[in-house]
Copies of this chain bind each other. A is one copy, B any other.
């Protein structure tokens, strides 16, 4: 850790090389299938922390009005991102471009979203630039489009928006609104080869205090800890206990255990788009499940009935180990468990649902809170159960 970050040194919270894998895994769960592949990003972040020192972490509430906070991440199809390595010079070029465009020197970076790759990019950037990172993000999850951020929900535009690529091309856009930012940035990203580094919604500490969803890096690390086997009481979790422990920690619903029997997936328009069909295993044998995704998992249906709808979070976990699987990494025959959890309350407002609800993605369904869908299904099952059927609830007790 350098001597530059006195406030965060005082708080004593830093991200070390040893934290990276847990954060990456946890952020991948919150990334709901998108937000970038964690593998390459984690390697880069660890290397840069080794080279440049630990990264100080600032609580959202600790930001001062004078801070200039720069959200930085990757944009593009995860199918491209998994093979794309953001170089140090690409990250530094992005920081230089935002400073030149705004005349303000960044004092902190932050993740624009919590996702496997996009939690790592700002950590790597912070390490190189000797800046602290904000413990929070602008989605509380990952979303596929650039305007799907809490800044947008609060009426803040994207401002000076930077895109850089590994060729050294630099673009600074000043789009009139978030929708134009997404549209122009996506087109540029496609030309840049399907992946680029992006800075948008760079704001002062006052705006970030209002808008950021706090403590999401800390939450990611806690999730990564559970999936790494760290139990609540300090004990070690067996692999077959992890998904249940995670659902307890996150107030998540375990929607379905099954194996992938059909998978359509294509890179188009700068996104990875597709759908997966699953047949149930274990307590879910005899049922089927469908997941629709655009980078992120957006819609989950069990036997044709809605089980979870964007902006609520849907994560696909390896059935044996609990480790998260991105939409890009999903494979035919994979045995998975699908969990869902409520999104942050900012997304459950009219503007939140307009921005990232099912209609925006062209799904002709109404959003219903995932916990209500779960309650309705539990009630139906209880009825069936009292009539002699089996109940999926048995799974929880068995775990």
User: Which residues from chain A sit less than 8 Å from chain B, CB to CB?
Assistant: 101, 167-176, 180, 183-184, 187-188, 190-192
In the assembly, what is the distance between CA of A171 and CA of B171, in Å?
Answer: 7
Say how many copies of this protein the assembly contains: 2
- Chain B neighbourhood of A191, CB < 8 A: 183-184, 187
- The reply to whether A175 and B169 form a contact with Cβ atoms under 8 Å apart is yes
- The reply to whether A173 and B180 form a contact with Cβ atoms under 8 Å apart is no
- The reply to whether B169 and A180 form a contact with Cβ atoms under 8 Å apart is yes
| 19 further interface pairs, Cβ-Cβ under 8 Å (given A167-B176, A171-B171) | A168-B176, A169-B173, A169-B175, A169-B176, A169-B180, A169-B184, A170-B173, A170-B175, A171-B172, A171-B173, A171-B174, A171-B184, A172-B172, A172-B173, A184-B188, A187-B187, A187-B188, A187-B190, A188-B188
Closest chain B CB from A187 CB (angstroms)? 4
In the assembly, what is the distance between CA of A293 and CA of B188, in Å?
Answer: 26
Closest to A100 in B: B101
- The reply to whether B184 and A174 form a contact with Cβ atoms under 8 Å apart is no
In the assembly, what is the distance between CA of A87 and CA of B229, in Å?
Answer: 62
Closest chain B CB from A168 CB (angstroms)? 5
Closest to A173 in B: B171
The one of B174, B183, B188, B192 in contact with A170, judged by C-beta atoms closer than 8 angstroms, is: B174
> 8 A-B contacts, Cβ less than 8 Å apart?
A167-B176, A169-B174, A169-B184, A171-B173, A171-B174, A184-B191, A187-B187, A188-B188
Closest to A103 in B: B100
In the assembly, what is the distance between CA of A170 and CA of B192, in Å?
Answer: 19
